[in-house]
Amino acid sequence: MNINQLDLRQAIMYKMQGSTAGDVMDTINDAVTTGQEKTLPGLGVLFEVLWQHSDSAAKQQMAGTISQYIPSQASSPVGT
């Protein structure tokens, strides 16, 4: 497989196809609990699905919740 030809969104949707709400919940909980960087693209794709299928009010609520919990100051991810 040529990694340059990999469609990450499609690969994640393929892996998640047929998932129940419980399966999705388990996947999200596992990704958040382990905190592994490799799970971030999958969470991003799941969030994209949620965003695309939400109305304006739901999008505003999600954006408000996220902004509420983003710190006003954070440490640099690169050591100095």
Tens digit of each residue's pLDDT (9 = 90 or more) over 45-79: 999 999 999 999 999 999 999 999 999 888 888 87
Sign of the torsion angle spanned by Cα atoms 19, 20, 26, 29: positive
Categorise residue 35: left if φ over 0, alpha if ψ from -120 to 50, beta otherwise.
left
Q: With bands split at pLDDT 50, 70 and 90, how would you rate the model's confidence at 30?
A: very high
pTM: 0.82
d(CA 77, CA 80): 9
Q: DSSP for 6-50? A: --HHHHHHHHHTT--HHHHHHHHHHHHHH--GGGHHHHHHHHHHH
pLDDT of the residue at 51 = 98
